Chains A and B, each alone.
Chain A
Amino acid sequence: MEAFIDVERVEKVFEVRRKTGFLKRERRRVRAVDSLSFTVARGEMVGYIGPNGAGKSTTIKMLTGILTPSGGRLRVAGIDPSRERTRLAHRMGVVFGQRTTLWWDLPLIDSYRLMHRMYRIPDARYRENLDRLVEHLDLGELLDVPVRQLSLGQRMRGDVAAALLHDPEVLYLDEPTIGLDVVSKTKVRDFLRQLNAERATTVLLTTHDLQDIEQLCSRVMVIDHGRMVYDGALAGLHEAGESERTLVVDLERELPPIEAPAPARVVRVEGPRQWLAFPASEPAAALVARIVAEYPLVDLSVREPDIEAVIARMYADRTDRAVP
């Protein structure tokens, strides 16, 4: 696999000056990104998550060339972003959930006409792309509406279209569904899935909404304190986070807690219903067989672990370790 994004032991150190007294300043070095390495293949769709201040935005800024790394090596499509920011800009699209690239006071279409010139998009391709984006993102009615009158969901769809008019090879999305209602979220996600499938656009998605990741990304990278703490399949995150699945058992009558083989254990009893927790990495079959054999079973269901809980635990673990 060809590495489209290649990050090798990249560091970013900021110098922060803090006031420590009258006219006294203390210089402190803050390591926002610490020896970060990863690669993303062309056409991959990767979730990039971490708590606030973990270094996500700093990474994106280095990948797009507006911040220069303090150390390490970084390439996107073979280009060193901070050296050739403008050249790379033609090949990437960026969407910020909380910021807009659109012209606030003017109709949406004016911003697209500007993109047409800015990215030097050939006329035929511009029209074709615009038609396609307008259709998929449901923008037809909005083209003549000044951007300041658009709802958040409409504006976000407008921004996504603006980022894609020039057929970028890579799309950086920063909180693309923040503040959107369920319908708008679904629209944006459906569109991104389709974009990735049909055009093989490489997508790096930063979000706090884990449903975005669950529905879009097969791979997820978790960063904390500037370091990569997990990089792999979404499923594997559960093992890494030592997460547990829950078996919900309905018995014929109220009974004392089921004596399950460790590490499975009863975590809750409510009348004839009991909840058992067991490691997500283990199959449920053995546990289920045992309960069927020894207890008067009526019904059962398995609940998958909540990814949010998994990641929260992962962060908590690291914090515990960081503070002795």
Chain B
Amino acid sequence: MGAWRVYPAVAVGAFRRYATYRAATAAGVFTNTVFGLILVYTYLALWEARPGLGGYDQAQAVTYVWLGQALFAMLAFQGGGFEVELMERVRTGEIAVDLYRPVDLQLWWLANDVGRAVFQFLGRGVVPFLFGALFFPTALPGEVAVWGAFLVALVLALLVSFAIRYLFALTAFWLLDGQGVAQALMVTGLFCSGMTLPLNAFPGALGEVVRALPWAAQLQVPADVLMGESAPLGAFAFQAAWAVALLAVGRLVQSAATRRVVVQGG
């Protein structure tokens, strides 16, 4: 039996774990739908005043909003994925249990986060998105190929999202308390991923910078692939480059972290 088979099992377990919290899922669907409505009307007002802002027409702006709500929980733009648990385990010393296992720490948590993300996408993302597509004029593609490209972009987006949060979470090995880090993750995540406003609409140098940062790979890039605003291959390359770079840095930091580990408590 291959050593890799543990990781799908971890992902399935994580999926089932999140599936046990039905009330939380229902509340999440409701929240994302309401936030979607608020943002849609804000955007409509904004695009009314500034038509073509960021290269989007109104239907594209609306699509962007609902896509953001659909991916919000899946890609954990403001945190709330595995990293909360990982930081808590480092703080309490539970991490020792993980280190006793014959598994790779990074792959273990990636598998965990994939299971979580798939559940959050299906459980929390699909409904708000369908709601938006049903009640608002959206700019969704007709061709299957575009949807396929969008799915690839989504997988890469998840890898980048994981890699960012893994790096943030590993700081717990030095800082021990993850609260400040979690807040920093939330603020940068919300702003730099384009949850507040599409990164395309950011002016000047600031826009250039945020569009080049890894957070852009999470929402802006998949949105543009879906709406035909950017060529898929270039988009994939941008996402994959960040994913590989950040995952590699994550491995380096991980080995430094486990080498200096002072497991808390007993």
Q: Which chain A residues have a beta carbon within 8 Å of chain B's beta carbons?
A: 14, 57, 61, 64, 66-68, 85-87, 89-90, 92, 94, 96, 98-101, 103, 105-106, 110, 113-114, 117-120, 122, 146, 174
Partner of B20, one of A66, A90, A101, A106: A106
Partner of A64, one of B1, B2, B9, B100: B100
Q: How far is the CA of A117 from the CA of B102 in the complex (A)?
A: 11
Interface residues of B in 74-102 (CB under 8 A from A): 93-94, 96-97, 99-102
Q: Are B103 and A94 closer than 8 Å at their CB atoms?
A: no
In the complex, residue of chain B having the shortest beta-carbon distance to the beta carbon of A104: B17
Q: Are B5 and A117 closer than 8 Å at their CB atoms?
A: yes
Which of B5, B20, B100, B263 is packed against the most chain A CB atoms within 10 Å? B100
Shortest Cβ gap from A234 to chain B (Å): 24
Interface residues of B in 96-144 (CB under 8 A from A): 96-97, 99-104
Partner of A118, one of B93, B96, B103: B103
Known: A66-B96, A68-B259, A101-B97. 16 other contacts (CB 8 A): A14-B262, A57-B266, A66-B258, A90-B102, A94-B97, A96-B96, A96-B97, A98-B266, A105-B17, A105-B21, A106-B16, A106-B20, A118-B9, A120-B5, A146-B20, A174-B266
CB-defined A-B contacts under 8 Å, sample of 20: A64-B99, A66-B96, A66-B100, A85-B99, A86-B103, A87-B102, A89-B100, A90-B102, A99-B96, A99-B97, A105-B17, A105-B20, A106-B16, A114-B6, A114-B9, A114-B10, A118-B102, A119-B102, A120-B5, A146-B20
A residues near B20, Cβ cutoff 8 Å:
105-106, 146
Q: Are B261 and A67 closer than 8 Å at their CB atoms?
A: yes
> Within 8 Å of chain A (Cβ to Cβ): is B3?
yes
> Within 8 Å of chain A (Cβ to Cβ): is B28?
no
> Nearest 10 A-B pairs (CB), nearest first?
A89-B102, A117-B6, A117-B9, A66-B99, A118-B6, A105-B17, A120-B1, A94-B100, A86-B102, A57-B266
Shortest Cβ gap from B33 to chain A (Å): 26
Q: Are B101 and A118 closer than 8 Å at their CB atoms?
A: yes
Q: How far is the CA of A324 from the CA of B130 in the complex (A)?
A: 77
Shortest Cβ gap from A103 to chain B (Å): 6
How many residues of B sit at the interface, in one of the four size bands? 20 to 34
For B1-23 the 0/1 string (1 means CB < 8 A from A) is: 11101100110010011001100
B residues near A61, Cβ cutoff 8 Å:
96, 263
Partner of B101, one of A68, A89, A113: A89
Q: How far is the CA of A120 from the CA of B103 in the complex (A)?
A: 11
A residues near B262, Cβ cutoff 8 Å:
14
Q: How far is the CA of A68 from the CA of B259 in the complex (A)?
A: 8
A residues near B93, Cβ cutoff 8 Å:
99
Q: How far is the CA of A87 from the CA of B103 in the complex (A)?
A: 10
Q: How far is the CA of A96 from the CA of B93 in the complex (A)?
A: 11
Partner of A106, one of B5, B13, B259: B13
Q: How far is the CA of A61 from the CA of B265 in the complex (A)?
A: 12
Partner of B94, one of A14, A99, A106, A174: A99
In the complex, residue of chain B having the shortest beta-carbon distance to the beta carbon of A105: B17
A110-B102 contact in complex given A66-B261, A99-B96, C-beta closer than 8 Å? no
A residues near B13, Cβ cutoff 8 Å:
103, 106, 110, 114
Q: Are A113 and B9 closer than 8 Å at their CB atoms?
A: yes
Shortest Cβ gap from A273 to chain B (Å): 44
In the complex, residue of chain B having the shortest beta-carbon distance to the beta carbon of A159: B97
Partner of B263, one of A66, A86, A94, A118: A66
B residues near A94, Cβ cutoff 8 Å:
97, 100
Q: Are B94 and A120 closer than 8 Å at their CB atoms?
A: no
Shortest Cβ gap from A231 to chain B (Å): 22
Shortest Cβ gap from A91 to chain B (Å): 9
Q: How far is the CA of A105 from the CA of B258 in the complex (A)?
A: 27
Q: Are A106 and B17 closer than 8 Å at their CB atoms?
A: yes
Q: Are B16 and A110 closer than 8 Å at their CB atoms?
A: yes
B residues near A174, Cβ cutoff 8 Å:
266
B residues near A85, Cβ cutoff 8 Å:
99
Q: How far is the CA of A233 from the CA of B93 in the complex (A)?
A: 33
In the complex, residue of chain B having the shortest beta-carbon distance to the beta carbon of A53: B266
A residues near B1, Cβ cutoff 8 Å:
117, 120, 122
Which of A14, A90, A96 is packed against the most chain B CB atoms within 10 Å? A96
B residues near A90, Cβ cutoff 8 Å:
102
